[in-house]
Amino acid sequence: MRLENKVAIITGGGSGIGYETSILFANEGASVVVVDINEDAGNKTTQEIQNNGGQATYVHADISKAEDCQNMVQVAEDTYGKLDVLFNNAGISHAEDDDAINTSEDVWDLTMDINVKGVFLGCKYGIPALQRTGGGSIINTASFVAVLGAATPQLAYTASKGAVLSMSRELAVIHAQEGIRVNALCPGPLRTELLMKYLNTDKKKNRRLVHIPMGRFGEAEEIAKATLFLASDESSFVTGSTFLVDGGITAAYVTPE
């Protein structure tokens, strides 16, 4: 098993990429700390892992709060003795996120608090735990929009994911010689509840699909498999990367038909 005897924290573990990754990591031998603000979803993921014979613990957390991020790391160390993998995955894409003119300050602040500050706080408390372990892997969920502008305006989200990408690069450089790898996972458009709520009309969906060479939205399970590679020792020489899993969207200029 690719994560045997490893301990992983996964934020946003109750749904989407976080759920699929939690299940996959547990199946690959990891003890998983499932972190989510939604108690029902987080407990459901945890119970599913336990029912399948895996090791998992649920932690309720608002990742924009320092005490919650500190606690999730403490629970990992108290319960399983160490931390090997930190997957800062939780994030939001607000339905009222738009361009600079039409995005409210409240939507901007909320997006930054969760998508950027949440990753910062995860690293703030997670990195010392990885140092105590002697190294490990941090995977921060950015997005293809950290590399490209989005076809549908979502300025706060795009800016937040650009911040995650640049933060990941700098942390990778700072901690490289400590055996701590930091990579920015950049999914393309996925068929998740989060994105489908935002792309809530056929027009919005088609504006995304026309730019994806593979002609479809990705699946959360496909991103989980990429995360597994970054978490495992197979990626031992991979750090500071912009790890794009995007169906080719950043590689091609596609003219709408």
Q: In what order do the strands lie in the sheet with 31-36?
A: 55-60, 31-36, 7-11, 85-88, 136-141, 180-187, 242-245
Residues identified as active-site: 157
Q: Count each helix (H run) and each strand (E run) in the chain, helices first.
A: 9, 7
What token pair was written down for 15?
């749904």
Strand partners, 85: 8, 137
DSSP state at residue 92: -
Is residue 136 classed as helix, strand or coil in its secondary structure?
strand
- Per DSSP, the residues of 229-254 read HHHSGGGTT--S-EEEESTTTTT---
